[in-house]
Structure 1
Amino acid sequence: MMSVTIDERSNWKRPFFIIWIGQAFSIVGSILVQFALVWWLTRETGSATVLATATIFSMLPGIFIGPFSGALVDRWNRKTIMLVADSLIALMTAGLVLVFWMGQAQVWHVLVVMLVRALGGTFHFPAMQASTSLMVPEKHLSRVAGLNQALNGVLNIAAPPLGAFLMSLLPIYQVLAIDIVTAAIAVGTLAFIHIPQPKRRPEGVLTPQALWGDVREGFRYLAHWPGMLILLGMATLVNLLMSPAFSLMPLMITRVFKGEAMHLGVMNSAEGLGVILGGLALSVWGGFKRKVHTSMAGLVGMGLGVILLGSAPAQMFGVALLGIGIAGFMNPITNGPLFALLQAKIAPEMQGRVFNLVGALASAASPLGLMLAAPVADYLGIRFWFWIAGVSCLVMAGVALSIPAVVHLEDVSGAPRSEGRSALAVQD
């Protein structure tokens, strides 16, 4: 065991980006699988209920299992967790490949695989995020977050058309098999890279009571950081209002702009292009000195973009494209610094729990927001919800910047890491 300062690791880029590239391949495979399975369900059933069920299956693990899997991430070796999660997801996909190849695939097969893949994600995501904070110097965390946002933007634009193209050329089991190859790349790049582990107190036997105690400890940890708790509460509220707005985008296209599927595709591309450019801008710029200032500036910009989108005249579709492009650009400016702040200020041995608690709140907010948005949009018009979502961003940014505990969150004494030093103990 040894104490290290991450800034002293002159070669941190090589091991981190080897893993990062491997995970990028894995994400490509995951998006292709998701596209292929959703399209198969659509083609085979034509049922909105089945598609809604598939969405729920993909969200349930994050809501109900996330807090507990986060506690396990903080107990176990994070590299091992990522290896097992990637391997398990690939194994489930391989089973589905076999079922499709035999011509025996049924809806429940697909739903079970989607559930297990989502379950694997509840372990993999916090393990990767927590590992990033142990491999990347704090001053570069915002840039890495920007790269992650840009990568997601690129893949969200490129992968669905690629999936559609592959589905037109290949049987579905061959498309699914691509995910096995990309998972193998991710596992191969990860297997030979050392990932530091946080110093942990001696853990007793893992029992349900001990696991629940770990989860409660995560809640208590956040409760003792008022600024962090307030910031996460605001982020959850914004997500509750913003997520339905983008889910209602198809109705915005048809009801307001009298558009077709092509218009929706162009709208999604404009958003994705904005995310790419915003992520690249953040990776080069790095943000303001205070991450909270960067994030709130992004939130204001995102709110203005959504308001512009909701206010675009029916005959001026280009204005709507500009609005969603601005919102997309500001998305990584908003979220990237928040992730960097969590990675920099949350104790390494607590990050698994905290990241999954945040994820559980976000996942739970989305369906609740949809339940609220649907009747509001039907009664008051689809534009009204976009205005609500946009104004909420402006209000939340103003409130956050008026609360000293939030503004000075990075100044909290005893933070796990600060520039140029570390009290972090890692295990080989």
Structure 2
Amino acid sequence: MRYLSLLRRHRNFRLLALSQIPADFSDWLDFVAIGVLLGFVWQADAATFAWLGVAMALPYVVLGPIAGALVDRWPVRPVLIGSNGLRALATFLLFLAPSIPVLLGLILLRNCFDVFYGPAKQVAITGFVPEEDRLPANGLSYAIKQASKVLGPSLGSALLLILEPRSLFLLNGCLGLASAVILLRLTATPASLATGETTPSLWAHIIDGLRFIGSKPILIVSLLMMSGGFAAIFLYDLFIAILANELGFSKEIYGLSMVAVGIGGVIGALGIGLVNLERHSLLAIIIGAFLTGGLLILLGGGPDYGMPMPAALFLAIFAGLGLSTSFVMVPFRTLLQREAGADHIGRVSAVGETLDTLAILGAPFLGALIAKAYGTGASFVAGGMLMLILGLFALLGTFRRRT
């Protein structure tokens, strides 16, 4: 099997993937515990939850470009170890948080360390895995991330039945330390992953990265399309529970729809790595964008035109969305790694995460306005239309590359 061969042949990637399991699970294991602590223990209001969103997103917007530049300048091994270790320390401190402001401050601090992990992981994949194996490597990495989104909150909710919410912070911190310990076994950073060209200052290094992106139209278009994909998802993502309720489904069906998305994402990410599309990333993106757009329009607009929506179809659509979305996200990462190269992938990846975060912050408000004006299903249709537009852009990109 291709994945077994990939893991067997590339020891450093094998360690990186193994370390990603506890690292990604730590992103989601205490997600429910934070909500329970704020909403049920401290009786926080809606404004507090809005500040929670700010604390989680602000580091990626403000520190993203700086972190990317530093990752490109520093050896990747200590960055990976340090970001996981310091994140674990901040998570342990959450156990001691005496009040809401302290809790939010520590979450902000934790994400300041986490900002370095994403770009460093992209640098590591680019340097440790040859180009012909990067698509399955990214597929496996994305599959681990999707699985953690489903299993992490589910496991956290189950543990809350027997543990206090604060206890999950201790368990989560241990997961972060486990990831850092696994990464200690990485071999020394290869020369291709060192600092690249030397620039006189950090600011010059950041400017050099932005100029590099500006000099490659395919990078500009890819970064904007990837953030557009996140915007399309978050136009409707927060309103799934409302739509499920409007369609007459129980909270159990809503929960199963979240599981279906995760399972579809894992299957899609692993499946795309088995297909030889390394040189046809745009083709996979086109297929994924059109499928995602069609499914969203069917989900949001179908019932308005008298189409029956049984629970089985509802869940099947969400499984399909998980699968088709992975066909968009995984090739984008492979495309960015190929076009950026080892010297610039940290900065390119960080700029991408900044744009993605801005899209995630803004899209729900636009989705809420659409839902208020035209109904909940309209936000799903809007997300589907945006995905179709992204697919058309990718299709035009293939024509331009051929000519």
The two structures have a TM-score, normalised by structure 2, of 0.90
Find the residue that maps to 2:383 and give its secondary structure.
helix
Question: Counterpart amino acid of 1:201?
Answer: E
Q: Which residue of 2 aligns with 1:307?
A: 297
C-alpha separation between the residues in 2 aligned to 1:234 and 1:154? 24
> Which of 107, 121, 127 is 1:128 aligned to?
121
Q: Contact conserved, 1:81 with 1:123, CA < 8 A, in 2?
A: yes
Structure 2 partner of 1:358: 352
Q: Residues of 2 paired with 1:367 and 1:50: CA distance?
A: 16
Q: Does 1:238 align with 2:236?
A: no
Q: 2:26 aligns with which of 20, 26, 29?
A: 29
What is residue 3 of structure 1 aligned with on the other side?
Answer: none
Cα distance in 1 for partners of 2:7, 2:271 equals 24
Query: 2: distance between equivalents of 1:81 and 1:217?
Result: 21
Contact in 1 for aligned 2:64/2:353 (Cα 8 Å): yes
Write the mapping of 1:407-426 to structure 2, written as runs, cut at 5 A. Answer: 407=401
Task: Provide the rounded CA distance (Å) in 2 between the counterparts of 1:382 and 1:306.
Answer: 12
Kindly indicate whether residue 198 of structure 2 is the aligned counterpart of residue 202 of structure 1.
yes
For 1:130-171, what per-residue CA distance to the aligned partner results, in whole angstroms no more than 9, with x for missing partners?
111100111111111111222122222222121011111122
Q: Which residue of 2 aligns with 1:190?
A: 183
Deviation at 1:334, TM superposition (A): 1.0
1:169-216 residue CA offsets vs partner (Å, 9 max, x unmatched): 122333211122222221111112123224523344xxxxx3332222
Aligned to 1:45, the other structure's residue is in SS state coil
Shift of 1:263: 2.6
Q: Which residue of 79, 85, 106 maps to 1:113?
A: 106
Q: What does 1:215-364 align with in structure 2 at a 5 Å threshold?
A: 215-254=206-245, 256-287=246-277, 289-313=279-303, 315-364=309-358
How many angstroms apart in 2 are the aligned matches of 1:334 and 1:407?
Answer: 19
Residue 224 of structure 1 aligns with an amino acid whose one-letter code is: S
Q: Distance in 2 between matches of 1:315 and 1:301?
A: 18
SS state of the match for residue 149, structure 1?
helix
Q: 1:228 to 1:174 in 2, by over 3 A?
A: same
Pair 349,369 (structure 1): closer, same or farther in 2 beyond 3 Å = same
Instruction: Look up the match of 2:54.
Output: 56
- For the residue of structure 1 that corresponds to 2:249, the secondary structure is coil
SS at 2:274 equivalent: helix
1:374 to 368, 375, 395: 368
**1:151 pairs with 2:144:** yes
Count of aligned pairs: 390
Equivalent pairs: percent with the same residue?
A: 22
Residues 315 and 350 of structure 1: CA distance in aligned 2, closer, same or farther (over 3 Å):
closer
Distance 2:356 2:395 in 1: 22
One-letter amino acid of the structure 1 residue matched with residue 43 of structure 2: T
Contact 1:143 1:282 in 2 (8 A): yes
Q: C-alpha root-mean-square deviation of aligned residues, in Å?
A: 2.2
Displacement of 1:338 in angstroms is 0.8
Please say if residues 7 and 13 of structure 2, whose CA atoms lie closer than 8 Å, have aligned partners that are also in contact.
no
Alpha-carbon shift at residue 75 of structure 1 (Å): 1.3
Looking at structure 1, the residues matched to 360 and 322 of structure 2 have their Cα atoms a distance apart, in angstroms, of: 18
Aligned residue in 2 for 1:69: 67
The residue type equivalent to 1:154 in the other structure is: A
Is the contact made by 2:83 and 2:114 (CA closer than 8 Å) also made in structure 1? yes
Q: CA deviation at 1:404?
A: 5.2
Which sits farther off after the overlay, 131-140 or 195-204? 195-204
Contact 1:272-1:328 within 8 A present in 2 as well = yes
Mapped to 2, the partners of 1:377 and 1:277 lie a distance apart of 31
Residues 60-108 of structure 1: CA distance to partner in whole angstroms, max 9, x if unpaired? Answer: 11111101111111111221111111111111122222x16xxxx2112
User: 1:402 is paired with a residue of what secondary structure?
Assistant: helix
Q: 5+ residue gaps in structure 1?
A: 1-8, 205-209, 412-428
Deviations 1:91-127 (A, max 9, x none): 1122222x16xxxx21122211211121111111101
Q: TM-score, normalising length from structure 1? A: 0.85
User: 1: distance between equivalents of 2:156 and 2:144?
Assistant: 17
Shift of 1:234: 2.5
